[in-house]
Chains A and B, each alone.
Chain A
Amino acid sequence: MERKAVGGITFSIPDGQFAAIMGPSGSGKTTLGQLGAGLFMPETGHVYVDNTPTNSRKFRSEISNKVAYVFQFPEHQLFEETVFRDIRYGLRRKKYSELDITEKVKDAMECVGLSFEAYKDRSPFQLSGGEQRRVALAGAIVLEPKILILDEPTSGLDPLTRGKFLALLSTLQRTKHMTIVCITHHLQDALEYADRLVILNNGRLVYDLKPAEIRYALEDPAIALVPTPLLRFRKELEFFFPGKIDSELIQENKLLAFITDRLMRIGDEP
């Protein structure tokens, strides 16, 4: 029962970008992410990470150093006895001293918002979903990868935790200059945080846009993208004030700033 998951896709992600890979279920997003991480090899074509092909055995370890992959379900990734040992797992071959390792793990944990002392000895299987995801993320960033690929990192999280998680990814992108590839089907999150949206459908790449250009994809009936409340609101605004709403105003804070600004100006006008 073999089916082609993805085919005919050509694109590249430059350094430091936050890309969101979207599409309906079964469109091949996860497969694409796994191909990108070098988890398996394409039957035809090539995948390159920093200009090294992923199917070369020689550079296999180099590639694993540069790319980190976070799975959709944290329980697929966590397996050590304690949180500390789990995060440390990636470093075990690196020949760092004990002190260095502890420093790095501590760093990673602080980064994801888990207190080192409180969590380091707890079993990963006893944590809540959000905490498990953060441990998985810490385990990925402790390797200091250049590219971070996450598969549906926010599914199953409550809205507050989701916002925090994505803000964390954004921070990582800015401070550590990581390239972040997020597989998600959550349009709102993608518009808020991503620099670029790659939309798949049936294993093919159908749209490759900046968030501001989302309306092209929305108008396409083949893509199962539902306009978010924010987008619907924008549309209403455009209806009332045609031509005055800039297409770049796609993010919540920008839109709010714009509206507040206009309202203030209305207040000033006689």
Chain B
Amino acid sequence: MSSFGALSTLQYVPGDSFLHRVDPRSKYGFVASYSISLVSSHSLTASLIYTLVALFLFLLSKLSLILLWENLRAFFVVILILNYFQVALNGIEAAAQITLKLISFILMVMLLLSTTPPEKQMEGLRKLLSPLRRLGVKTESCAVMFTIAVIYLPLLMEDLMRMMQAQRIRGPRYGRWNLAWRGRDMISLLTPLLLTIFRRAERLSDAMESRCFLPGSERTVFYQLKLDRRDIIVLILALLIPFIQFNFE
């Protein structure tokens, strides 16, 4: 059942917009600066402007509105609850402000994730985190683990679905509220899955080692990240963002 392709579990949407072509590191910088400014701003006008910025970027990315809705839907309940509390405690203006902030934050993160393929993200993170190596954090191994996890996620999902199907078809489940049997069912689902994982891990690690993989060694990368004109623009904008709110405070 390959209806779930390798990338459909992630939020990345392939495309060719301006945002897609920007280096992930600049994007991270921009989002970081934006988020910090967003969180620390206290005026409604500033929040409004930030939201407009986010919306503008969204239009720039040529992503579909449905995607936006899907993402927001998950937080819908959160937004509602937050609104309720804020209106009750602090008034409508505060509620509007916090809603705008939340929406624009979600939008920015969604843009970041949807316009950067996981390989580039991984590479971007790796480069950004490389100074941490001096502190003893093994960034190379982390990068490898991340890649493996991302690649195997859909495969594991397929295995999980097959196992659930197999159990379902071999016998009906017990009622939901029978706790002991629910526990048993969970264990029966977990055991074969975990065993599959262990076996696969053995095979994969053997295969990797047979290709001279050594944990912690220097590795070369397929996707070389380069900063170009676009990224400089983005980085300059990132630096300018905090000034928006200084204007309105």
Contact = CB atoms under 8 A, between A and B. Distances in A.
Direct contact, A vs B (beta carbon within 8 Å)? yes
Contacts of B159: 76
Contacts of B195: 75, 125
Interface string B140-181: 000000000000000000010011011111111000000000
Nearest to A4: B3
Given A39-B169, A61-B172, A90-B171, A79 B5 contact: no
Contacts of B163: 76-77, 79
Nearest to B8: A1
B4 interface: yes
A93 B8 contact: no
B172 A71 contact: no
A30 interface: yes
Given A76-B163, A79-B163, A64 B169 contact: yes
B188 interface: yes
A89 B66 CA distance: 44
Contact of B166 (A1, A5, A77, A143): A77
A78 interface: yes
Given A1-B8, A75-B196, A89-B171, A30 B1 contact: yes
Contact of B162 (A1, A38, A76): A76
B191 to A, nearest CB: 6
A139 B169 CA distance: 11
B192 interface: yes
A250 to B, nearest CB: 33
A89 B167 CA distance: 9
Contacts of B189: 79
A1 B5 contact: yes
Chain A interface extent, by class: 20 to 34
B8 A89 contact: no
Contacts of B167: 79
A87 B5 CA distance: 33
A71 B3 contact: no
B160 to A, nearest CB: 10
A17 B154 CA distance: 36
Contacts of B171: 64, 89-93
Nearest to B159: A76
A64 B166 contact: no
Interface string A86-114: 00011111000000000000000000000
A89 B5 CA distance: 32
Interface in B162-215: 162-163, 165-172, 188-189, 191-192, 195-196
Contact of A139 (B5, B170, B192): B170
Given A1-B8, A93-B171, A93-B172, A76 B3 contact: no
Contact of A39 (B7, B165, B191): B165
A84 interface: no
Contacts of A89: 170-171
Contacts of B5: 1
A80 interface: yes
A3 interface: yes
B53 to A, nearest CB: 31
Interface in A10-41: 30-31, 34, 37-39
A202 to B, nearest CB: 14
Nearest to B162: A76
Nearest to A81: B191
Interface string B58-89: 00000000000000000000000000000000
A165 interface: no
Given A2-B3, A89-B170, A71 B192 contact: no
A76 B169 contact: no
A79 B192 contact: yes
B169 A1 contact: no
B4 A1 contact: yes
Interface in A42-95: 60-61, 64, 68-69, 71, 73, 75-80, 89-93
Interface in A93-148: 93, 125, 139-140, 143
Interface in B99-142: none
A175 B114 CA distance: 58
Contact of A79 (B7, B168, B169, B188): B188
B66 to A, nearest CB: 14
A69 B169 contact: yes
21 contacts: A1-B3, A1-B4, A1-B5, A1-B7, A1-B8, A3-B3, A31-B1, A34-B1, A34-B165, A39-B165, A39-B169, A71-B165, A71-B166, A76-B192, A77-B170, A79-B167, A79-B188, A79-B192, A90-B171, A91-B171, A93-B171
Given A79-B189, A139-B170, 8 more contacts: A1-B8, A39-B169, A64-B172, A71-B162, A75-B192, A77-B163, A91-B171, A140-B170
